[in-house]
Amino acid sequence: MKDLQKIHAHLLKTGLANDTVAASRILAFSASPAGDINYACMVFRHIKEPNPFIWNTIIRGFSESQNPKTAISLFTELDPIDSCGYVLVSNIYAASSQFQEAIKERLSMKEQKIEKEPGCSLIKVDGEVHEFIAGGRLHQKAPEIYSLLDELGFMMPEME
């Protein structure tokens, strides 16, 4: 941690601490479980325009620390219509077995009509890119794909 503090001091001295990429790296290392969350908080408070990556880094750091409630209070400072914060807080609650609180966060999203973007995967087959969206059935070969997945599902117990 002392080496990280020396690097940070050098960045401050040279004016590079205002560089978002440099600041985010210092923040990521200091907010990690091996770092110092209090130092991370100080670094975070000095970042002039924190982007979503920086917000998520400090919130993740606090969620993994001995003080996850601070992560939740930081979340309230985020954009109240951004789904990322709600999902992150819900996951923090779920990871600490506070399932009722996790459900409340998800319900709060629904009440405010805040929608999470569905997950998406891309795969290239025979030179053609195919996109799959979580829960989506709009792909032109969806019936074939889901039929094959059902067959594989039936085969899985046999393989165990």
Rounded to whole angstroms, how far apart are CA atoms 8 and 76?
Answer: 28
pLDDT tens profile 37-83: 888 888 888 888 888 888 888 888 887 777 767 776 777 676 667 78
Domains and CATH numbers, the chain: 2-111 (1.25.40), 120-159 (no CATH)
Neighbouring CB atoms inside 10 A of 121's CB total 9
Strand partners, 130: 123
Q: What is the distance between the alpha carbons of residues 141 and 91, in angstroms, rounded to a whole number? A: 33
156 band by pLDDT with thresholds 50, 70 and 90? low
Q: CA 73 to CA 49: how far, in whole Å? A: 19
User: Which residue from 112, 90, 118, 89 is spatially nearest to 102, judged by alpha carbons?
Assistant: 90
Say how many residues make up the chain: 160
pTM of the model: 0.51
Residue 35 parent element (H or E): none
Ramachandran class of 15: left when φ > 0, alpha when ψ lies in -120 to 50, beta otherwise: left
pLDDT 10s digits, 109-150: 899 888 887 778 888 888 988 887 877 777 777 788 888 888
